[in-house]
Amino acid sequence: MTLKLGVPSKGRLMEKTFAWFARHGIELSRAGSDREYAGKVDGIEDVSLILLSAGEIPRELAAGRIHLGVTGTDLVHEKLPRWEQQVEEIAPLGFGQADLVIAVPACWVDVETLDDLDAAAAAFRATHGHRLRIATKYHRLVREFLTDSGVADYTLVDSQGATEGTVMNETAEAIADITSTGETLRANHLKILSDGLILQSQATLWRSRVAEYGAAEKAALAEVLRRLG
Amino acid sequence: MPNRSQIQARAAMMRVRFEAAGAQVVDPPLLQSAETLLDLYGEDIRARAYVTSDALRGEQMLRPDFTLPVVQMHMRDGAEPARYTYSGEVFRRQEHDPDRANEYIQVGYEVFDRDDPAGADAEVFSLFALQLRGLPLRAATGDIGILTAAVQGLRTSDQRKAALMRHLWRPRRFRALLDRFAGRKPEPDHRAALLGAADPMACDAPMIGKRRPAEIAARIAALRADRDTPPISDTEMAGLDALLGVRETMPYALEHLRDIAVDLPQITPALDRLEARIAALQARGVDVSKLDFEASYGRTSMEYYDGFVFGFYAERRPDLPPIATGGRYDALTRRLGNGAEIPAVGGVLRPDLMLEIEEAVR
């Protein structure tokens, strides 16, 4: 049996992950063509590469179908309740940095903090007859954050992409999304609340606490950890 | 651990006892409209209830409790006065604690009665105490109506009172608001800057979204009015602090609250109701001299209750949720009644936990 390593199957995240492992003497590559989702591992024994969508890696770790996986802190925290019990953080990879933040229209001059958002939500509900809508795909993280902060009279609406556009389209009044430079937010005339940082995320290597580790997997894991220092 | 048929047998027996007390059996559907629940509880309910959907009826929730459907049913076609009992599963989504049940049986009793609220409170509490007799439980009681009266009678703006009322069930936020309204916390810098600006509405970004400029202007006007409102007085703040700290047996709590009413005279009618309730409990044979009363009780977990609240807890099993809880929810009938309203009080018991405790005692 081999130690299964799950890595995002697409784009910059995959390339940067490959480069990060290469620096530690573990050569990861796609087998065959660019379109094939099979992986190849060189420079270390008994490790196999599984290419997966970054969003599925938390679930695969929690199910124990992979031993190691690379994905963002945001996705692990959102998708795995009590994530500490299911996965262990091995190493932050130093890229894919992004903040999960709450942002509102920049023209809301009266709203700078969660306090303001709460007051605006109360008035909004009274005026429009429905709760202030916050578009996001991070339902659990956002709800827990707003509950802890004592914000009421809002509702979450699901947005799996182009979330920054929902305010302009009037399908939401505010958003909670991942941002790295804030450029897309600014381009869409949104601003981040001063205390609206929910989570700082980056690409991270995780170990599943529930996967089975036989002798070969244990040895391979020890070797991976040794290489990572 | 008790098995399912034991739990159902116990639930049926308790329901029969409630029937004997005059209640009519009701059996609300398992699927409830998500819209009503969301409207009432807000987004938090999504963390507690299972949501499902179909193309015809949209989002539905597996019933997280019975109170809401029973109130809806009564407001639609109930006669007065009315007493209802029910038993059946409720479903609670669990995201943090795998040891908490996500499906369990509740047995409940609800009284809709205009004439004698103190009597109805005492009736529900004493019937619950009877169902639980012999178990090593501690009863806690409180009264949300006293705090409500204290807030509504503050000598400050309606705007501030509304903000405090809105966060009555979120103690941390309530405290932060109170400190700000009492001038104990300075106005945040960004707010002072906004209100000090020559044109506070000035902004480089375009106006986008459904919240219109008039709404922003209205909030700025409200912030200005709030800045010019004098702070809540030290006397009133001291009274509120003392009130929130009251935790004694019922008769002493009443005495203590009467002292506090010297500074907060607005709570006197609520205290008269507490006094009437104590008398009604005594008349039903409840030993009030041993019954705990906490003025802050029920503020974090019992959102729709607005008067008498109670709970029964397993003293030796702090890991267990309350074995029974209940209270008065007059405001809920108003919100669901389309203009109609009726004073209502009721509660639920957990037969599964009762059996578990009985097993441990044996």
Three-class SS state of A156: strand
pLDDT at A89: 95
Listed in sequence order, the residues at least 6 apart from B210 whose beta carbon sits closer than 8 Å to its beta carbon are A128, A170, A173
Find chain B residues with C-beta within 8 A of A109's C-beta: 194, 200-203, 216, 220
Q: Give the range with max mean pLDDT: B23-37, B180-194, B268-282, B286-300.
A: B268-282
Specify whether A62 is located in the same domain as A92: yes
Q: B1-136+339-362 and B141-172+232-314: same fold?
A: yes
Specify whether A132 is located in the same domain as A77: no
DSSP B186: P
Report percent pLDDT > 70 for chain B. 99
Find chain B residues with C-beta within 8 A of A118's C-beta: 173
Specify whether A109 is located in the same domain as A178: yes
Range B115-124 average pLDDT? 97
**Domain boundaries, position A54:** 3-97+202-228
Listed in sequence order, the residues at least 6 apart from B55 whose beta carbon sits closer than 8 Å to its beta carbon are none
Contact B253, B293 (CB under 8 A): yes
Q: Give the one of B166, B191, B209 whose C-beta lies nearest to A152's C-beta.
A: B166
Specify whether A83 is located in the same domain as A103: no
**Residue A35 pLDDT grade (very low, low, confident, very high; cuts 50, 70, 90):** low
User: What is the CATH code for B1-136+339-362?
Assistant: 3.30.930.10
Closest alpha carbon to B92 in B52, B54, B59, B62: B62
Q: Which residue of B has its CA nearest to A149?
A: B173
Length of chain A counted residue by residue: 229
Specify whether A103 is located in the same domain as A42: no
Specify whether A52 is located in the same domain as A115: no
Q: How far apart are CA B216 and CA A110, in angstroms?
A: 7
Give Cα separations from A61 to A71, A76, A206, A217, B63 (angstroms). 10, 9, 8, 15, 32
Find chain A residues with C-beta within 8 A of B95's C-beta: 81, 140
How many domains, in total, are found in chain A? 2
Residue B292: strand pairing partners: B140, B249
Judged against a pLDDT cut of 70, whether residue A71 lies above it is answered with yes
Q: How far apart are CA A180 and CA A11, in angstroms?
A: 17
pLDDT, chain A, mean: 93
Judged against a pLDDT cut of 90, whether residue B118 lies above it is answered with yes
- Quickly list DSSP for B40-79: HHTTHHHHHS-EEEETTTEEEEE-S-SHHHHHHHHHHH--
List own/partner pairs for B213-218 with CB under 8 A and 24 or more apart: B213/A107, B215/A120, B215/A123, B215/A124, B215/A127, B216/A107, B216/A108, B216/A109, B216/A110, B218/A123
**Residue B169 pLDDT grade (very low, low, confident, very high; cuts 50, 70, 90):** confident
Q: Which two tokens stand for residue B243?
A: 């009130």
Judged against a pLDDT cut of 60, whether residue B226 lies above it is answered with yes
Find chain B residues with C-beta within 8 A of A145's C-beta: none
Q: Give the one of A110, A113, A131 whose C-beta lies nearest to B220's C-beta.
A: A110
Of the CA atoms within 13 Å of residue B249, those in its CB half-sphere come to 8
Find chain B residues with C-beta within 8 A of A110's C-beta: 194, 200, 216, 219-220, 223
pLDDT at B353: 96
Judged against a pLDDT cut of 90, whether residue A19 lies above it is answered with yes
Closest alpha carbon to A6 in A74, A44, A55: A55
pLDDT at B349: 98
Q: How far is CA B123 from the centre of its chain?
A: 19
Q: Which two tokens stand for residue B173?
A: 């936020």
Q: Where along chain B do its domains lie?
A: 1-136+339-362, 141-172+232-314, 184-199+212-230
Does the beta-carbon distance from B95 to A119 stay under 8 Å? no
pLDDT at B16: 98
User: Strands, DSSP E only, in B134-233?
Assistant: 137-143
Q: Give the one of A112, A127, A156 whose C-beta lies nearest to B43's C-beta.
A: A156
Is A78 near chain B, with CB under 8 Å?
no
| pLDDT one-digit tens code per residue, A115-154 | 999 999 999 999 999 999 999 999 999 999 999 999 999 9
Judged against a pLDDT cut of 80, whether residue B182 lies above it is answered with yes
Range B30-54 average pLDDT? 89
B141-172+232-314 falls under which CATH superfamily? Bira Bifunctional Protein; Domain 2 (3.30.930.10)
Q: How far apart are CA B60 and CA B91, in angstroms?
A: 13
Specify whether A152 is located in the same domain as A224: no
Residue A27: strand pairing partners: A42
Range B91-108 average pLDDT? 89
Q: How far is CA B89 from the centre of its chain?
A: 21
Report percent pLDDT > 90 for chain A. 86
Range with lowest mean pLDDT among A29-33, A144-148, A207-211: A29-33
Judged against a pLDDT cut of 90, whether residue B108 lies above it is answered with yes
Phi, psi of A101 (to 5 degrees): -130, 160
pLDDT at B99: 80
- Quickly list DSSP for B235-291: HHHHHHHHHHT-EEEHHHHHHHHHHHTTT-GGGHHHHHHHHHHHHHHHHTT--GGG-
Does the beta-carbon distance from A113 to B163 stay under 8 Å? no
Q: How far apart are CA A37 and CA B184, in angstroms?
A: 61
Ramachandran region, residue A122 (left: φ > 0; alpha: ψ -120 to 50; beta: rest):
alpha
**3-state SS of chain B: helix, strand, coil percent to 5?**
45, 20, 35
Is A155 near chain B, with CB under 8 Å?
yes
Is A189 near chain B, with CB under 8 Å?
yes
User: Best interface-test mutation with B: which of A79, A82, A85, A109 has the largest number of B CBs within 10 A?
Assistant: A109
Judged against a pLDDT cut of 90, whether residue B45 lies above it is answered with no
Find chain A residues with C-beta within 8 A of B203's C-beta: 106-107, 109
Judged against a pLDDT cut of 90, whether residue B36 lies above it is answered with no
**Residue B174 pLDDT grade (very low, low, confident, very high; cuts 50, 70, 90):** very high
Specify whether A48 is located in the same domain as A161: no
Q: Which two tokens stand for residue B298?
A: 């029920």
pLDDT at A36: 63
Q: Could you give the maximum distance between any two Cα atoms of chain A, in Å?
A: 65
Give Cα separations from B177 to A43, A199, B174, B186, B236 (angstroms). 61, 26, 5, 12, 14
Closest alpha carbon to B48 in B91, B103, B99, B16: B91
**Which pTM does this prediction carry?**
0.88
Judged against a pLDDT cut of 60, whether residue B302 lies above it is answered with no
Specify whether A80 is located in the same domain as A160: no
Specify whether A166 is located in the same domain as A221: no
Q: How far apart are CA A128 and CA A120, in angstroms?
A: 12
Does the beta-carbon distance from B203 to A127 stay under 8 Å? no
- Quickly list DSSP for B320-335: SPPSEEEEE-HHHHHH
Q: Give the one of B38, B210, B219 whose C-beta lies nearest to A155's C-beta.
A: B38
Find chain A residues with C-beta within 8 A of B209's C-beta: 105, 107, 167-168, 170, 173
Give Cα separations from B227 to A155, B56, B154, B160, B231 (angstroms). 29, 50, 17, 11, 9
User: Best interface-test mutation with A: which of B38, B211, B301, B335 has the largest number of A CBs within 10 A?
Assistant: B211
Q: Quote the minimal CA–CA distance from A31 to chain B in Å.
A: 39
**Residue B180 pLDDT grade (very low, low, confident, very high; cuts 50, 70, 90):** very high
Does the beta-carbon distance from B216 to A189 stay under 8 Å? no
Q: Give the one of B173, B207, B211 whose C-beta lies nearest to A150's C-beta.
A: B173
Phi, psi of B59 (to 5 degrees): -75, 135
Three-class SS state of A76: helix
Q: Which two tokens stand for residue B166?
A: 């809105």
- Quickly list DSSP for A93-144: -S---EEEEEEEETT-TT--SHHHHHHHHHHHHHHHSSPEEEEES-HHHHHH
Q: How far apart are CA A12 and CA A47, in angstroms?
A: 22
Q: Which two tokens stand for residue A86?
A: 């299911």
Q: What is the CATH number of the domain that holds A193?
A: 3.40.190.10
Q: How far apart are CA B5 and CA B101, in angstroms?
A: 17
Specify whether A179 is located in the same domain as A131: yes
Is A125 near chain B, with CB under 8 Å?
no
Q: Give the one of A107, A113, A128 whose C-beta lies nearest to B210's C-beta.
A: A128
- Quickly list DSSP for A5-28: EEEE-SHHHHHHHHHHHHHTT-EE
pLDDT, chain B, mean: 93
Does the beta-carbon distance from B209 to A153 stay under 8 Å? no
Q: Which residue of A has its CA nearest to B43?
A: A155
Q: How far is CA B257 from the centre of its chain?
A: 21
Taking CB atoms and an 8 Å cut-off, how many pairs form between chains A and B?
A: 102
Closest alpha carbon to A198 in A115, A122, A98, A121: A98
Specify whether A192 is located in the same domain as A221: no
More confident site: A37 or A80: A80
Q: Give the one of A110, A122, A128 whose C-beta lies nearest to B216's C-beta.
A: A110
Q: How far apart are CA B318 and CA A217, in angstroms?
A: 42
Look up the ipTM and state it.
0.87
pLDDT at A33: 67
Three-class SS state of B123: helix
